[in-house]
Structure 1
Amino acid sequence: MAMAQNFRSAFHGFNREDVVRYLEYLNSKHNSAINQLKSENQTLTDELKALRAQTVSNPAAEAECARLQEENQKLLQQCGDLAGQIAKLQAQMEEAQKNKPLAEEELEAYRRAEQAERAAKERARQIYCQATGALAEATTQVDEAAEDFKLLSQRIATQMTDLQSTIDRSKEALTGAAATLYGVCSADTDSQ
């Protein structure tokens, strides 16, 4: 059980290779235990056959034979239990093999999603920088246009004032000319 301390944590569970290695370790340990039990069983069976072959009636030998038969049954039971454990471990190992592609796909999908999120954040940052630059440029252009408009409106106001003065002077000149013409026409009419 010392191998249980060597498990490394992986994303969402244990590292698959460590689990498989541990299951193989348990499998080989159980196989060696089964082989040892089979060997002991064979030895005891051989001893039993040898004791049965003896024609001499020996109460001590018969008691030893009964004890060995009982031990043989226990060992056979242990062998069956270990075989059941091996079957369970092999089923778990097969299940882990089946789930491996799904776990790898999920991990790959998670990595792709993280990469897409980073790319989207970077693109948003670039767009923000571009928009900030465009807004600053537009603000500068609006400020320049407002200044140009202000200067133009001042120039137009000055020209309008000058034009109004010219119109007023022209009006006065025309009024004076009309009065002079009227005075000349009246003097001609009186002299006739």
Structure 2
Amino acid sequence: MRLLIMGPQGVGKGTQAKLLAEHYGIPTISTGDIFRANIKNKTELGKKVLEYTSQGFLVPDELTNEIVRDRLAQDDAKNGWILDGYPRNVAQVSALDEILEGLGEQLDAVVALTAPTNVLLERMAKRAKEEGRADDTPEAIQNRLNTYDKETTPVLDIYQQRGKLVTVNGVGEIDAISEEIVKALDAKLG
């Protein structure tokens, strides 16, 4: 199973990706987690990433594409994966298409989680307080939500046209949302 999980920040992608990974026995690949680990460990990549994220900007495509290409080629991803946080724009869709073609793989489905903006803002403010995430300032949060609307919403349109999109409400009990995702994927993939 090769899945994308998409949605605005704070919608619960990471949480649901972990549950789906357990359910399907495949790894979750989160570009955000990769970036944060590098920031925490003060690697060269981390320093580059921090230049962007501390201001609420997204990491440039070229850097992100290379990380994804490398990660999808690793042994634990041979039998499937859930990609969280990528692709986030139309150019990255093309890059992912090329990466998958090079690996001889195909995307099975795209899960899009949705939630009202006020819920997202509330969740991210709580996360910033609990996790002490420097990239979750109110200004950075709003900037990322605006960027998502502008750049990522067209990605969902592409996957809808390709017949790959499954949309699920990201508000409610975590387990109930997870069950809804699995039910929708089972119905789509038969």
TM norm. shorter chain > 0.5:
no
Q: Which has the larger radius of gyration?
A: 1
Could you say which TM-score interval applies, normalised by the shorter chain? under 0.3
Give me the TM-score of the superposition, normalised by structure 2.
Answer: 0.22
Between Structure 1 and Structure 2, the one with more strand by share is 2
The higher-RCO structure (CA 8 Å, 6+ apart) is 2
Compute the TM-score of the two structures, normalised by the length of structure 1.
Answer: 0.21
Q: Indicate the structure with greater helix content.
A: 1
